[in-house]
Amino acid sequence: MTAKRFVFAIVAGLLLSLTSVAVAADAGSPIRQVTLKGSINPVSADYLTGQIEAANAAGDRAVLLLLDTPGGLVTSMREVVQAMLASQVPIIVYVYPPGAGAASAGAVITLAADFAMMAPGTNIGAASPVSIGLGGAKMDETMKKKVTNDFISYVQSIAQQRGRNLQWAKEIVRDARSSTATEALKLKVIDGIADSVPALLSQLDGQRYLRHGKELRLKTAGAPLLKVEMSWRQSLFHALANPTVTYLLLMLGILGIFFEISQPGVILPGAIGAIAILLALFGLQMLPVNIIGVLLILLAAVLFILEVTVTSHGMLSVGGVISLALGSLLLIDSEAAWLQISRAVIASTVGVAGAFVLLVVYAVTRSQQRTSVAGEEAMAGQRGRAVSALDPAGRVFIAGEYWDARSTEPVPPEAEVEVVRVGRDLTLEVRPVKSESELDSTGG
């Protein structure tokens, strides 16, 4: 019995030591805080899934996602949800700050969290699928019904796995229902309401969550926060997924290239325009683009360039402005509100672009019509002095240079002469400049 007790004591001591080490490690592990503000797109999905994987690899205590989104692409949302459901580290989604929202795809991501929290004054819901097609194609009623029912079952399966309200999950898809934080808490859509991140962590300390059927407890008391923001590259590309930003870059690029073509050699506008167009093309690949809208905008650019070389009295510019306005309105092919370009932005951009083109065309036209102030044409009317006698040919000094000249009237040396024209052989035709007394005596 003594030997058995001795072995038991050793085993118990080892287990206690291992437990202490595990508790110590857990006590030092942080909560990884990530932030998503804006649409859910391939860039933001890469950021979120990457941080969830990093948290699992590092053994973080939890992942805290501060969410404020109008929605996003279904494919990107599914990537994030899959990473959340596969995570061994618990996921906390916090709709924050006050006034923020988790709409559409954001609502589904919130439902997929182990702990769903909201700040006062926030809302969640409105996850009805919208058609995103090419060339303006819309879903017929049968296809729309299929898509809606498929999405309802998908959202309900997530809600069921996390123990949330199945009826509400159905209504946010079928009826585009949206709820306030207080209503969502009453309907058991979320787990709580918190004014701030510290209040949230205090509220969640000791809460239970499931992993592989096993009940675990979340320990947030005294946990350090590890804040991880998007890299500069991700931030840039995430901004380009905003339709308004991409549209403005596209317009800037077109105007820069137009200015470079109309005023060759300036270089800087052309370089800026090329960079802006490349960035706009990157943004457009993440957006549902209507090819007709793109072609209309390209047509507008061609008409603007032709205006510089073809005399159309402004008709090409008018056609370009109309084409640009129609192309801007048709550029984004989606019913989703978060993908729409503001009509005010389109109106102001088209107006500024049209005014800029007309101003450049006016400047180019004036420069082409201006009388030359250099070269042979500039010599007519210039005055100088005769270096030698002109009877009829000789040498003159005019405009700082010596010229061969001829005159129909005899001109003595050092007399003042005036250029009449430049001959084909670059010999000046001059005449003597008569004094006022000479003019009076001749009646001139």
pLDDT cut 90: percent of the chain above it: 53
Mean pLDDT of 132-137: 44
pLDDT for res 129: 81
Task: Look over the chain and give the mean of its residue pLDDT values, rounded to a whole number.
Answer: 85
Where does 376-441 sit in CATH, by number?
A: 2.40.50.140
pLDDT for res 272: 94
Q: For the chain, what is the largest distance between any 2 Cα atoms, rounded to a whole number of angstroms?
A: 152
Higher pLDDT, 2 or 319: 319
* pTM (2 d.p.): 0.70
Mean pLDDT of 23-45: 82
Question: What Å distances lie between residue 311 and 307, 323, 357, 369, 435, CA to CA?
Answer: 7, 19, 14, 13, 48
Higher pLDDT, 130 or 249: 249
Supply 10's token pair: 């050793």
Do 376-441 and 27-229 have the same topology in CATH?
Answer: no
d(CA 409, CA 391): 7
pLDDT for res 138: 58
Where does 27-229 sit in CATH, by number?
A: 3.90.226.10
pLDDT in tens, 351-360: 998 888 888 7
For residue 192, what are the β-bridge partners? 117
pLDDT for res 204: 96
Higher pLDDT, 382 or 196: 196
How deeply is 333 buried, as exposed, middle or buried, from its count of CB atoms within 10 A (0-12, 13-18, 19+)?
Answer: buried
Say whether pLDDT at 346 is over 50. Answer: yes
Higher pLDDT, 217 or 9: 217
Residue 191: partners with Cβ closer than 8 Å, 6 or more residues away: 115, 116, 117, 204, 207
pLDDT for res 376: 60
Q: Which of 32-36, 212-216, 265-269 has the largest mean confidence?
A: 32-36
**What residues does each domain of the chain span?**
27-229, 242-369, 376-441
Contact (CB, 8 A) for 278 and 312: no
Supply 183's token pair: 């209503």
Residue 242: partners with Cβ closer than 8 Å, 6 or more residues away: 38, 39, 283
Contact (CB, 8 A) for 393 and 361: no
For residue 69, what are the β-bridge partners? 102
